[in-house]
Each structure stands twice: as C-alpha cells, then as structure tokens.
A and B are shown apart, each in its own frame.
Chain A
Amino acid sequence: MNIAIKVENLSKLYKIGKKEPYMALRDALSESIKKLFRKNEKDKENESYIWALKNVSFEVKEGEIVGIIGRNGAGKTTLLKILSRITYPTEGKAVVKGKVGSLLEVGIGFHPELTGRENIYLYGTILGMKKKEIDEKFDEIVEFSGLAQFIDTPVKYYSSGMYVRLAFATAAYLQTNILLIDEVLAVGDVGFQRKCFQRMEEVRKEERTILVVSHNMEAILRFCKRSILIDKGRIIKDGNTKEVVEEYLKYFSEIYNFREWSFDQAPGSEFAKLKSIKIKDKNGNQKNSFDSREPIFVEVEYWIIKPKNIYASIVLQNQMGVIVFIASESSSYLGRAYKILEPGLYRAVCEIPSNLLADGNYTLRVVLVELGKDSSPLYHADVHNAVGFQVFVPLAPDSPRGDYPGGYPGVVWPKFKWETYQVDKNIFPES
C-alpha cells in the first residue's frame, strides 16, 4: 500500500497573549520605535508562546480511515489545519499525495441571500469541486438534502436544520481521495443523521484516505480501525481504535471510579461525614462501565456523629452537564426525611434500574442533607463530580437500541413496552 500522508516532526508554535491579534497602525509604529531602543532586550517578554503541536510524526496509508482524538485544545484541529494548508507549520514537514478535501466546518461560504441551488454551487466550488462535477452530482445532493421544494428559495428563509442539511449534502459528495473531517460526521435530526452515517459507510467503501477528528467515541469506534490520541500537541498513542479510545478514557477521566475518605479528611460537618461512594453491579463488584441492560448500584457510606435527621441524595449528570435525575434516600419511605439517625456508620444503596440511561458518560454529585422544619434543605456534605461511570446501549434485541445501530438524542434511553397487533384484516372496514 502506498503512503497517502506522511507527517514528520510537525510542530506549530502559537503566540498567545492578551493582545489583539490584529493591531492598529499606531501600535505597530510605536512597537518598531521601541524595538530600536531595546534591541538586545527580550522583545518577547510580554508574550507567551504555546506549542499547539510538537514533533508529531505518523503515516497514513491509502484507503485508511484514522480517527484523531483528544481533549479540547489538544492540537487536533491544528493538525488538520496544517494538513489542509490553512496554516503553516513552524517546524517539520508533511507530504500529502492526492487531492485533499477538508471539512473543518460544513457550510463555509454559504450566503443567506443566495438560493439553495446557488449555495450548492458556491459551497461546492469553495470545497474544490469543478462546476462540471457539481452539475453531475446536483440531483443526488438535492435528494440527499431532502430540500427539493426549497432549492430555489434563498437560504436565509431556511431553518437552521435545513441549512445544515443542505451544507452537509453538498459536502458529502466531495470527491477527493483524501478527506480531512473535523467533528462533522452527522448532523440534523435522527432521520438525517442516519443518512449521514449511511453515506459515511459508502464513503468508507470507496477506498479513500480519511482523517476524522471527533469527540464522538461511538462514531470513531465505528468508522476508524486506527486512531491517534493527541494531548498537548503530542501523540500519546497511535494504534487500534479500541485500545486508543480506552487509553483516552483512562488518561483523561479526572473522574474517580470510587471515593473513600478517612474520618479526619472526610467531607462533612459536626453531625455527619461521608465515608465512601462506590459504583457496583448487581453482584456487588465495583465497576464503572455498564451495559444499559444491567442495573447500577450506587453505594454511599456515611457516619452520623451526632443524632440528626440526615439522608443522602445523588444527582446524576450526563456529559453535557444535564441533570438526568436526583435520587434521594428521603423517598425510600414516608417519614425518612425527618427520621433522627443515631450515631454510627450507615450504608445507603440506590439502584438505578436497567434499560434506563442513554449511551454516555455520567458523573454523580453526592450530598448529605438535613431537611429543616420549613422544608428547606441544609447540606452537611456536598461533593461535586464525586464519581463517574459510563453506560453503553448495546446492539442487542433485548436492549433499548434493538437492532438500530444509530444514536438517539435524548437524556434517557429507556426500554419501553410496545405492543403491536392486527386489529382487522381488511384495510377498509365493511361499511
């Protein structure tokens, strides 16, 4: 196999500072006068520099699809920007064989005053397509977008969803042998997302070389055999996607799998202190990655030091920071909220039912609450991001996903009971 992309010791230095990136002429003049007088001094004292990429080397073979993952600001986009020649590297070099198409954002150059048709041509041309190519693909693009009836309407009248569909449809027909994609695998509503994934499957079979930057681990796992993990401008791991994604999750989860405190260091008050927070499966084994078909047990241990009506609550947040639910011990039985606990060590276990949570990463906030006589809560302990765990909804007949491989938006993904039966054999009941 031939090499399509060869990157050797690529580095990019960015200047960061409080200064405006562009300057007024006045500043430039005063700067150059200043420079005359302090030639030997460090001119760069007020500016700090950052290596957005440092000595990055890798090779990509023709037809390979490689995922680039890492945290925000790790240097992923800088890498794509250099490879697509938007910006220059500071050191090192890259050799790219073939025509490069870069999709760092869909819909670049769309103009609201122009019609859908005009924008397809304009955007296609900006992406590097020839007019003839767009002519040939035009009908397919329109069909893909599902916007045939609005194609001669100025896009300023489009909803944001329509806008994105048109842009994505155009981009989906970019015929270059190398594609650089940044976080634009699928957009729009569920139906359109499925189309996007189908299109990605088609593209994958076309033997094109693709570099994909994404935070969507599911998509990366699905489309890329190989992935590269980048952090602080350096390659941390390069290899099989499954291993790289695991490394990523391990490397970057500042999230605890469990928490345990000694009595002296435990968060709490003179009345109560937290001892431990653990995530367990139904067999009592501690773990942090759950098949959505199994229940999740959250175990909170706390000391009651002086008699008080105290109970534990957990707040579940998903990776978007959305509160999925609050589960409170006070709901375990009537009167629990005002029950005075005698000093001692207590263990409260909450079962999160199976087939409830959606795919993703979750964190728990754990609080010890005292409910006042006026029903106002007083927190004796409050630990944000106490522990975290992941849930995946597998492709299985008894999971909420069933045999549908795509994703659903939504905070939860429960398994619902559906019942379908034939009511009548005739389409038109006899009149």
Chain B
Amino acid sequence: MQEKKETIIIKPPSSVFDAINLKEIISRIDLLFALAIRDIKIRYRRTIIGFGWAVIQPFAQMVIFSLIFGKFTKIPSENVPYPIFVYSALVPWQLFARALNDASMSVVNNIHIISKIYFPRIILPMSVIISALVDFFSAFSILILLMIFYGVIPTAKVLLFPVFVFVEILCALGVALWLSALNVKFRDVKYTLQFLTQIWLFATPVIYPAKIIPEKFKFIFALNPMTGVVEGFRWILLNTTPPDFTMMAISTLMIFIVFIFGVVFFYKMEKEFADIM
C-alpha cells in the first residue's frame, strides 16, 4: 500500500474535455474485457448450437440474399460470385448491427451498476463492440473458407485489413455512443432500433454494389459512414474495382465526425446518467 497515491478532485462538471480521461480507461482495461467476456458467455449460454450462432446468422442471411438478389433479381456483383460478394459485406455489417442494437442498450441495461459504482461509463458500449468483434472474426473465418471455395485470391491490398477493422470499430463505436447516451434520456431509441437497422442495411451497399447508385444520389450515400467500411472491405478482400475515391473520403470523414462528436456527446450526457436512473 506504499504505492504512489493518485489524487482525485471531485467538482461540479465543467468542460467535457476535462472528463475524458484516456489514462483512466486504460487502467480499467480488465473491466472492459470482463464485461465483454460476460456478454459472450451469456449470449450463447443455454443454446444448443452455442457459439455457432455467430457464424450461422450472417451465413443464413447470405444464403437468403444470394437466392433473392443474386439468383432472382440478378443484382450485379462486380465479377465475383454473389454469395461471396454479399457475405464479405455482411460480416462487417453484422458488427455494425450489434453496435446499433446491443451497444446502444448497454448503458440502460447496466443502470443498476452505474447507479452503485463508478468506472468510466464509455467502457459499457466499448465492451459490447469487443464482444461483437469475437463474432466478427468467427464469421470472417467463414469468409476465408468461401474465398478458397470460390477461388478468390486476394492481392497485397489485404494488408490493409487491420486498417479497415480499426475504421469499422470507430464507426460502430461512434454510432453506439450516440445511441446509448440518447437512450438513457429518451427511451424511444429502443423502439426505433429495429427499423433503423433495416433501413440502414438497405442504405448501405451490402446487397448491391456502390457502382449502381445513380450519380446524383452518390453524395447522399457517401454520408453514410458504413458505405466506406463495406466498400473498403470488399475492395481489399475481393479485389473488386477500386471504389469511388470521393465517396470513400466523404464516408471516412463522416466516421471520424460521428465518432468524435459521439465521444463528446456521450461525456456530456454521462454526468446525468446516475441521476436520471
């Protein structure tokens, strides 16, 4: 107990930037992982297929989309088989959908903890993203099998994979921060999640390539942060034609805007969490 003692000054909230304390978040990294592990364990406990669900969900979606959009409506798929075309987008989409649905509930679902003990609240949505990453990588392993099956050989661009994973995490966390904080004050958020996820899926080039978006709507689609993520993953993994640079740039910029303002907004709302409950 002779360690150097930290000094905490408790005072009324002033600026948001005083509250953001990266060092503190790092010091509670154990908690971040403990909560993520809790989520993973609980989610598949008492299911027969267990962890297999992480893989089955996007795979089943892929099969359905391949039948409807690949076989019947013949949506162009950039010279790669449609199943792999759609699956390569469903994997990052699934992570984002988890952020939308689960991470946005993370603060409200843990109210009882928040009102009784302190820790950096941002750890709650972060931990959901981490547990979603486990699903992401499991589903990704199936993508590798599909690529082998269809004989799709990636190029050196695949080295950019970690960069896109990082960008996707920022994107998912950014949206999760907004929704989870809003949800504390406005329980309406919960009821919008289902159709928000659905609309967002169709607004993102998951089942269709960005190429088919008419020129005049391109800017609007580019504002969707997930556009850049999905197009990017496809580009580096499947070696499709390079995506529209302007669209990618705008979309990536949006990710940073959503993330940075998400952090600010979350910390602004955080002060009231325990009092609102």
Contacts and interface: CB of A to CB of B under 8 A. Distances in A.
Interface of A: 14, 21-26, 28, 81-100, 102, 104-105, 108-109, 111, 113-114, 118, 121-122, 125-131, 175, 177, 206-208
B193 interface: no
A149 to B, nearest CB: 22
A104 B117 contact: yes
A111 B40 CA distance: 13
B41 interface: yes
Contacts of A102: 116-118
Nearest to A101: B117
A122 B34 contact: yes
Interface in B2-24: 5-13
Given A98-B5, A125-B31, A113 B186 contact: no
A25 B117 contact: no
A24 B177 CA distance: 19
Interface in B171-190: 184-188
Interface string B98-137: 0000000000001011111111000000000000000000
A97 B7 contact: yes
B277 interface: yes
A128 B12 contact: no
A172 B267 CA distance: 32
Interface in B148-193: 184-188
Contact of B113 (A91, A126, A206, A208): A126
Interface stretch (B83-91, B207-215, B268-276): B268-276
A14 B274 CA distance: 12
A28 B275 contact: no
B274 A21 contact: no
Contact of A22 (B30, B118, B186): B186
The list of the 9 closest CB pairs from A to B, nearest first, reads A125-B34, A85-B118, A93-B11, A94-B10, A25-B188, A87-B274, A98-B5, A104-B116, A96-B8
A302 B241 CA distance: 103
B34 A24 contact: no
A114 B10 contact: no
Instruction: From A22, A105, A121, name the one whose CB has the most chain B CB atoms within 10 angstroms.
Output: A22
B145 interface: no
A114 B11 CA distance: 37
A85 B8 contact: yes
B1 to A, nearest CB: 6
Contacts of A127: 117
B38 interface: yes
B45 interface: yes
A382 B228 CA distance: 79
Contacts of A87: 274-275
Nearest to B11: A93
Nearest to A112: B42
A98 B42 contact: no
Contacts of A113: 41-42, 45-46
Contact of B1 (A93, A95, A128, A177): A177
A311 B154 CA distance: 100
A97 B11 contact: no
Contacts of B34: 121-122, 125-126, 131
A97 B5 contact: yes
A130 B10 contact: no
B30 A91 contact: no
Given A108-B116, A125-B30, A89 B188 contact: no
A125 B33 CA distance: 10
Given A113-B45, A114-B42, A122-B34, A21 B276 contact: yes
Contacts of A91: 12
Given A97-B6, A109-B110, A118-B38, 17 more contacts: A21-B276, A22-B187, A82-B10, A88-B13, A96-B7, A97-B5, A102-B116, A105-B116, A108-B112, A113-B45, A122-B35, A122-B38, A125-B31, A126-B117, A127-B117, A177-B5, A208-B1
Contacts of A94: 9-11
A20 B63 CA distance: 45
Contact of B8 (A81, A100, A104, A130): A100
B188 A85 contact: no
Contacts of B187: 22, 24
A129 B13 CA distance: 27
A95 B8 contact: yes
B10 A22 contact: no
Interface string B30-65: 110011001001100110000000000000000000
Given A122-B38, A126-B117, A23 B11 contact: no
A98 B31 CA distance: 19
A118 B13 CA distance: 36
16 contacts: A21-B276, A23-B185, A83-B10, A86-B116, A86-B274, A89-B12, A96-B7, A97-B8, A104-B117, A114-B38, A114-B42, A125-B34, A126-B34, A131-B34, A177-B1, A207-B1
